Amino acid sequence: AQSVTQLDSHVSVSEGTPVLLRCNYSSSYSPSLFWYVQHPNKGLQLLLKYTSAATLVKGINGFEAEFKKSETSFHLTKPSAHMSDAAEYFCVVSPAGQLTFGSGTQLTVLP
Amino acid sequence: DTGVSQDPRHKITKRGQNVTFRCDPISEHNRLYWYRQTLGQGPEFLTYFQNEAQLEKSRLLSDRFSAERPKGSFSTLEIQRTEQGDSAMYLCASSTGQGETQPQHFGDGTRLSIL
């Protein structure tokens, strides 16, 4: 079975500083991995996806993630946080198209 | 691309009543998914359709839950005899192709509150 573990339930950064949201995955084969973002009372928006074409994946709004097979990790990063980045972020694995979500990381951006 | 549309956005009902939610996917998407999200948790998969065929329904939470997609376009999710524990956000998503590598596009959800 495939699963993901988000290592931090809450992350707080100052505006303009780097963001790191950590995700480890468990899979017996090379998985399809995604990061989604959810703003309050809204649906989920896709940030980026990994499907084995390239280990460094660039997404929207300046986010990127690196797939590291040796570490079974897929951490999400952004060089400089904006206030508008404050939201819930989900690391997601996709066995047979049925998305399996991590428990989420709430990102707070301080002025 | 008008996005995935869900109706209603909010539903408040008394325990024991039946409720039905509607999802209109992106028009060219043949796959449609339903998820449930409770407070503070990530969404959990319920069921999905490819065109009008329901390919997975074992993850529906109980026999009170059912879903249809009669013409392969919009879908409905029905909960019969609602219980307090059914209070949650119900999310719909759609995608093209085989689904595993194709991203799913989500609607804004229907928030259900059971009194």
Contact of A51 with A108, CB cutoff 8 Å: no
Q: In this complex, do B41 and A103 lie within 8 Å of one another by their Cβ atoms?
A: yes
Asked if the C-beta of B57 comes within 8 angstroms of chain A's C-beta atoms, the answer is: no
Q: How far B107 CA sits from the closest chain A CA (Å)?
A: 5
A74-103 residues touching B, CB cutoff 8 A? 90, 92, 94-103
Measured between beta carbons, the chain B residues lying within 8 angstroms of A49 are: 101, 103
Per-residue pLDDT tens over the stretch A50-103: 877 788 999 999 999 999 989 999 999 999 999 999 999 999 988 667 788 999
Q: In this complex, do B101 and A94 lie within 8 Å of one another by their Cβ atoms?
A: yes
Q: In this complex, do A95 and B99 lie within 8 Å of one another by their Cβ atoms?
A: no
pLDDT band at A7 (very low <50, low <70, confident <90, very high): very high
pLDDT at A103: 93
pLDDT over 70, % of chain A: 97
pLDDT at B100: 61
Tens-digit pLDDT profile for chain B (115 aa)? 579 999 999 999 999 999 999 999 999 899 999 999 998 889 999 999 999 998 888 778 889 999 999 988 999 999 999 999 999 999 999 998 665 677 889 999 999 999 9
Asked if the C-beta of A9 comes within 8 angstroms of chain B's C-beta atoms, the answer is: no
Measured between beta carbons, the chain A residues lying within 8 angstroms of B44 are: 101
| Strand runs labelled E in A1-111 | 3-6, 10-14, 19-21, 23-26, 33-38, 44-50, 56-58, 64-68, 73-78, 87-93, 100-101, 105-110
How far is residue B68's CA from residue B49's CA, in Å, rounded to a whole number?
Answer: 8
